[in-house]
Structures are given as C-alpha cells and as structure tokens.
Amino acid sequence: MHLGALSGQLRQAARHLFEVVLAPLGLFYLLLTLTNLTGGLIAALAWALTALVRRVVTRTPIPAVLWLTTGLLVVRTAIGYATGSVFLYFLQPTLQNFLIAFGLLATLGLRRPLIARLADDFCAFPVALTSNLRVQRFFRRVSLLWALVFLTNGVATLWVLARATLSDFLIVTTAGSFTLVGIAAVVSLLWFRRELRGEGIRLRFGVAAAA
C-alpha cells in the first residue's frame, strides 16, 4: 500500500509542528522579552488565528490539531490577560496534556478514536486502510500509549513549572516533550508496520507503479 513520498509526509508533519507549536511559542517568548506579557499573548494568538483564517479563506482543509490548539490558546490567552500571570498562562498547556489524555481514553470505543483523527493531519490514510478491523484495533490500543505519554508529559511539565524560571521551563519542557513524543512516534510507527504485516499489507512510501 502506497502512502505518497516519505519526504512529502515529513514536510507536512514538520509544517504542522511549526504552525501549531513552535511558531506561537517562539513569538510569545520573543514579544514577552521585547515588550510585556500582553505583547506575548497577542503575538501567539494572532499567529494561531491568522493560520486558521488563512486556511478558511483559501478553502484549505483545517487540521484537527489546529482547531484543538487554537481553541485552547484562546482560553489560555483570556486567562493570561485577565490575571497577568505567566504561571497561569503556561499552566493551561500543562493541564491540556491531561485533557488530551482524557480525550484519547474517552474515544477508545469509537470507530475512529481521537488518535486516528489526529494521525490524519500528519499522514492521510486511505479508506481501505482505516476500514481494516486490525488497523482500527491498533488505533484503539495505541491510544493507551499516547494517553500515557500525555499524562507523563503533563506531570513532568507541572513539576518543572513549579520550580524553574521561565527560560529554563521553556528549554527543559520543549526538549523533554519533543524527545518523549519522538520516541512514542517511532514506537507507534514500528507497531503499526507490524500490525500491517500481520494482515499481509506492506506499507510503502512513494508513487505507486502504473498497472
């Protein structure tokens, strides 16, 4: 089964990662340093809303992860602006780890759990694959892995937030979160390939050869 060029899949994943995580975080810290908390809040939110509006105007499909992160960012910004607290602003994404973990567990019984919908943002799977019973079972099981990842990330981030300075918090949590997520992504991919081999399906990247 062909899923398109691997380089294209990686570029799409990197673009989503930059758009929903790295850019707003970087803008927040830059404007916080150059101006104040309000400047940082506005910069991060403006980036997220611009990315959302641009996709609406150009009629480009909006990834579920962009809807999720933008909605949570609106709540974070409102709380940060109302309280003037950097701690409470960063407490929100820390707590959202627990919220996402709950969402992963709550959708286990659905035909397409939350993890399957989020996976589509990074790699579009054909219907022939997502309708396979073994693949559906895989997504339910891997939801448990990712729920554990987000719970672990939430606990660790909360611990660092309570003890570190802002700059140390951003460095440690960003590096730690990306490392943890990267390891989980590799484990998930290897697990996925093994499940497909059990069905006699070989996963290939690239353009399928003409018949």
Residue ranges of domains in the chain: 6-198
C-alpha triplet 166, 38, 162: angle, nearest 5°: 25
- Residue 174 Cα to chain centre, angstroms: 13
Sign of the alpha-carbon torsion through 194, 139, 91, 82: positive
Interhelix angle 166-198/23-34, rounded to 10 degrees, is 180
Tens of pLDDT, residues 10-26? 676 677 778 888 888 88
Tens of pLDDT, residues 17-71? 788 888 888 888 898 888 888 898 899 999 989 988 998 898 888 877 788 888 8
Q: How far apart are CA 95 and CA 90, in angstroms?
A: 9
* Alpha-helix residue ranges (DSSP H) falling in 107-132: 114-122, 127-130
* Side chain identity, residue 60: T
pTM: 0.73
